[in-house]
Chains A and B, each alone.
Chain A
Amino acid sequence: MTVQQTGPTSTRRIFGAVLVLVASGLAVAATFLSAYAVEVTINSRTLRFEATSWVIERDDFRGALLLGPIEFGEPAVGAALVMALAAVLAFRVPATRVGSLLGAGLLVGAAWSAVTSVQATVKKLEELGPPVPVNVEQGDGITLLIVAAGVAVVSAVLHQELPRRVRPEETTGGVVIHQIDEEPDDTETPPYGYPVIVEPKEPKSD
């Protein structure tokens, strides 16, 4: 199989760059939405803990549950910055396209860890053995972070310079050498052919 690199900026890569920017925006937006919430209902009174990735927005337990924000804000913003820079700079410096892959990877790692942290919180609260049922919700922030990570991976792949097959008919414009053996023998016609010996014309005799 013969492969060659695609030419300058293609529609696919421009689409990929736009999607990379979209994923970056989603990732940053996700950090400001609710990451998770813990809710307990005691005697028809609802106590709620809610946090984004940056701050605790509501804590009716006054710190008794020792809960805090899930710290995906910094990795997610870092990943978004790397992806956005890669998408913009790639129009001038194509080698920086690889930054969108690095950013997508960072975002996947952060999203994965955030989901693991929510699961760990659920487990931690279960182990406490509370007398009343405790409800733990995964917030919109983490859901959006997962979506951003998925979009980032797809867009980063689209953004890359992928190899493509070269079809034989694409080369018909150039010189085609059908057969030249590696070890030429004397019987083969040399590339410039045999010299044509032109016989002198005999004078006409009327």
Chain B
Amino acid sequence: MIDRRKIASVLLVLGALLTAFASFQNTYGTVYQYGRGLDQSFTTTLWIVKGAPQTSSVDDAYYAAGGPVMITAVLALVAVVLMLRERSAFIGRPLAMGAAGALAGVVFFYVAQIQHEKEMMSYWPTGDGQSYELNYFAGTYLLGAGAIIAVIGAALAQQRPQPVVQQIDDEDAVVVHQLDHDDDTPPFGTEIPPDAQQETR
């Protein structure tokens, strides 16, 4: 059976890398049709927004969540490294949960913001060839999946290692059966009086 903490580390790394990768993918696009053949569309990543065809410029994204996503993903990876050694695991485990939570918070906010924009666009007047639409792209789904995977990984990582019970199978090893009374023989034995060593016949 695979160790649960190893699965946790793998999931954390996968979630962090997936969200980092998703930040460079198209997350959503908006299409504005103003009528009389005047169309404009924008495609957004977590870093930039590209306009077409009238404005073919590349600008910073309005909801530029790329920085926070990358930093929280790196924190999650740092947590995995800290969890590799038992001495630093007690820092790594809470850091993993905090980083995964922050990653999920950033993604949650981003999706809520896009959803709100979509709702606002639905209230705009249409007709006369005018229409406005917002479409989600694969980047948003990858972001959501990465954040969920990271949170699951962080939750699994919270399992503490079971204390190792040493079983002494070696017959030659020293076994202390009982040492809790004053009249027990101490570990180094009872002092032997010199006279007692001479056995009388």
Contact = CB atoms under 8 A, between A and B. Distances in A.
Which of B63, B112, B155, B160 is the most central at the interface, judged by chain A CB atoms within 10 Å of its CB? Answer: B112
A109 B101 contact: yes
B63 A180 contact: no
Interface residues of B, number: 55
A184 B174 contact: yes
B195 interface: yes
A160 B94 contact: yes
B169 interface: no
Contacts of A156: 94, 98
Given A101-B94, A105-B105, A113-B110, A199 B116 contact: no
A107 interface: yes
A74 B112 contact: yes
A189 to B, nearest CB: 4
A105 B101 contact: yes
B176 interface: yes
Contacts of B2: none
A25 interface: no
Interface in B148-182: 151, 154-155, 158, 160, 172, 174-176, 179-180
Interface in B63-77: 63-65, 67-68, 72
Interface string B182-196: 000111111010011
B101 A101 contact: yes
A167 interface: no
Nearest to A162: B90
Interface in A133-160: 153, 156-157, 160
Task: Give the one of A104, A112, A177 with max B CB within 10 A.
Answer: A112
A193 interface: yes
Nearest to A190: B189
Nearest to B185: A193
A151 to B, nearest CB: 14
Interface string A82-123: 000000000000010010011111111110111011001001
Contacts, number: 157
Interface string A42-69: 0000000000000000000000000011
Nearest to B151: A102
A95 B160 CA distance: 11
Given A71-B112, A109-B72, A120-B63, A104 B98 contact: yes
Contacts of B112: 71-75
A32 to B, nearest CB: 16
Contact of B104 (A105, A179, A199, A200): A105
A199 B155 contact: no
A1 B99 CA distance: 27
Contacts of B197: 197
A4 to B, nearest CB: 9
A168 to B, nearest CB: 18
B99 A105 contact: yes
B98 A153 contact: yes
Given A73-B112, A177-B187, 17 more contacts: A95-B158, A101-B94, A102-B154, A102-B155, A105-B100, A106-B105, A108-B105, A109-B103, A124-B62, A153-B98, A175-B179, A189-B188, A190-B189, A194-B192, A196-B190, A197-B197, A200-B200
- The 3 A-B pairs of least Cβ separation, nearest first, read A105-B101, A109-B105, A193-B189
